[in-house]
Amino acid sequence: MLIVGVVVAAMVYGAAVTLALTGNLGSAMAVVVLIVGAVLLPVALFIVRRRIWTPLTEIERAIRRVSEGDLSTQVPVARDDELGTVGTHFNHMTRVLRDRAEEQGRFAAAGELLGGVAHEVNNPLMAIASHAELRLADGNLPAEQRNEMQSILRQAQRAAKLLRGLLRFVRAGEKRSATVNMNDVVRSAIDLVSYRFTIDEILIGGRLDPELPTVVGDANRLEQVIVNLLS
């Protein structure tokens, strides 16, 4: 309300000065108006500077700091006028931005950790799969051992596939639009949840249209949506 009051007072005084200068007021009244203006003008300028200009400058500086990446920026709010409301909303906005940035930072850190773990786990999985394939290439391998090697190879390949699926989820924060075959997305999503469904004795399958047209989107995010629906 202070800002509105200052503006209205300035308009009223400006109208009075105009009347005085054009001779529409008596000479005595004109002198009084000019004297009052000479006294009150410095006071009004002081009030405007302290109550309006200074807070606006603080908000401008805060906006500049936020634009430079400092999301901890807050402006002092010790008033209930229009500028106080602006300051309150600004502080809320920066808190929301900071919380989202921290969440994305934690997600990125988890992704880096999972990437390192995946690399360490993937190497022995590939070694196991290679050993099983080498044994299966032996034509003299007994039938019982062949069945065991085939089972080991399937499990190693399945574990590697699940690991790749987890990595895709972590990288889903990076938006990458491209032409996507939705049949492949659905199959990959089913593979990710099928193990848990098997434990719960739930049978899952899908009948997909081979003529389904491709779409433009982010395959990782689309896969995440399908997994969420299945879960």
Domain-wise residue ranges, the chain: 1-70, 77-174, 176-230
Name the band, by pLDDT with cuts 50, 70 and 90, for residue 149: confident
Question: Is the pLDDT assigned to residue 4 strictly greater than 60?
Answer: no
Over residues 64-74, the mean pLDDT reads 77
What is the tens place of the pLDDT at every residue in 71-80?
788 887 776 7
Cβ(150)–Cβ(136) below 8 Å: yes
Averaged pLDDT of the chain: 72
* 78 three-class SS: coil
Cβ(153)–Cβ(133) below 8 Å: yes
Over residues 118-141, the mean pLDDT reads 81
DSSP codes, 150-217: HHHHHHHHHHHHHHHHHHHHHGGGS---EEE-HHHHHHHHHHHHHHHHHHTT--------TTPPPEEE
The arrangement of secondary structure in 77-174, i.e. its CATH architecture, is Orthogonal Bundle (1.10)
What is the tens place of the pLDDT at every residue in 161-200?
777 776 766 665 556 678 888 888 888 888 777 767 776 7
Please give the share of the chain, as a percent, with pLDDT higher than 90: 0
